[in-house]
Amino acid sequence: MKRQSWLTIAAIAIGTLIQPQQSSAGVILETAVTAENNNNYYAYNQPAELVNRLKRYEENISCLASEEDDRLTHYQTWLNRGVALQQQKKYFESIACLDRALSLQSGLEQAWYRRGIAFSHLKQYSQAVVSYQQAIEINPQEHTSWYNQGNAYKHMGEYERAIAGYQQAIALKSEFYVAYYQLAKVLERTGKYSEAIATYRQVTQIEPEYHQAWYSLGSLLNRSKRYDEAIVVYQKILKLKPQYQGWYNLGNVNLKLKKYSEAIAAYEQAIALKPDHHLAWNNHGAALEGLQKTRQALQSYSQALQVNPNYEKALNNRRRLLMSVSRETISNKVNLE
């Protein structure tokens, strides 16, 4: 059974509400860096004046009880209002409308699903779980209900249930890469690093340009001390989209491997893209120290402090190196005497 998601379209010019049109289901897609926008959109191919009147009409939609509303007894009216209110991010009012729709027809999958989305936006995750479960019981083949319920469980800290939700969503839609990504994040959070790494790799196979998965994979490989694999991942990221974060991360892995020249080259690329990146300046100094380029290292630490005067690590590094240079100078003078 395929989900039906309803889009309210009002023709104010003739004073009637046109029957709702079908469009794709709304899904709360959670990511590390960017957020997917899956809200339904209005039919902008309508005349501009009609669209403007539609917007004004929807701004006045409410589910507050009134004598006129008490005479509305068709569930679709309340469902339409609930969906429209979600478009306006009026989630409490949306829930009120959806509850009225459900009071007229309790087995309305779309109302339960939309109710779950509203509670998720309100961060009332236990209520969201209940609503998604009702939608699942009506239509267990809808992968987005399982996925969103998994997200709600994740926010509640119920990670095993979150994992089960994501796995069920994947079982229903094998190419659902965002579900794989969230599954990997929960596996990582629960210390199942090998499984998380394998799952991140599955995401990159399904959607090779999903940058969040590549960054998460590289970070976890780095934390797992699988540095050579991490380098390969960051090099892949930089081929997809050269960004300062990729260069900075590559520099960090090379620094840990004591590949100082490679680290310096990577940090310089990061700094070229983001000159105020004080962390890159500090680590650039550390790599220069590794090559015993003391004066250049001091310049990098000073540059880090110019960007962020309160960065304690750069302060300590610069102070330590200055003291070392001072002791060396004194020692050289004594030896000359």
Q: Which helix (H) or strand (E) holds 137?
A: helix 125-138
20 and 160, same domain (yes or no): yes
* CATH number for 259: 1.25.40.10
Model confidence over 257-267: pLDDT tens digits? 999 999 999 99
Residue 195 lies in a domain: no
Q: Considering the domain boundaries, does residue 62 fall inside one?
A: yes
Of the residues 114, 147, 173, which one is the last residue of a structural domain? 173
User: 3-state DSSP call for residue 142?
Assistant: coil
267 and 135 within one domain: no
Q: Using pLDDT thresholds of 50, 70 and 90, give the confidence band for residue 326.
A: confident
Q: Say yes or no: 142 and 9 in one domain.
A: yes
Q: Which of 23-32, 55-64, 124-133, 232-241 has the lowest mean pLDDT?
A: 23-32
Shared-domain flag, residues 12 and 108:
yes
User: What's the whole-model pTM score?
Assistant: 0.76
Average of per-residue pLDDT across 200-204: 97
**133 — phi, psi (to 5°)?**
-65, -40
Helix (H) or strand (E) holding 189: helix 177-189
- Based on the fold, state whether residues 161 and 308 are members of the same structural domain: no
48 and 168 together in one domain: yes
Residues 46 and 166 in one domain: yes
Question: Do residues 153 and 248 share a domain?
Answer: no
Average pLDDT over residues 121-139: 97
Boundary (domain end) residue, out of 149, 173, 197: 173
> Do residues 167 and 286 both lie within one domain?
no
Per-residue pLDDT of 169-179, as tens digits, reads: 999 999 999 99
Residue 299 has pLDDT above 70, yes or no: yes
Assign 45 to helix, strand or coil: coil
My answer on whether 24 and 141 are in the same domain is yes
In a domain, 91, yes or no: yes
**67 within some domain:** yes
- Tell me, yes or no, whether 285 lies in a domain: yes
Q: Name the residue range of residue 23's domain.
A: 1-173
**Could you say which of 173, 191, 207 is where a domain stops?**
173
Quick check: is 1 in a domain? yes
Lowest-confidence range among 42-56, 216-230, 245-259, 307-321?
42-56
Whether residue 77 lies inside any domain: the answer is yes
The one-character DSSP state at 274 is -
- The domain tally of the chain equals 2
Please give the Cα distance from 40 to 25 (Å, whole number): 8
CB 176 within 8 A of CB 168: no
C-alpha to C-alpha distance for 108 and 102, rounded to whole angstroms:
7
129 and 251 fall within a common domain:
no
Specify if 93 maps to a domain: yes
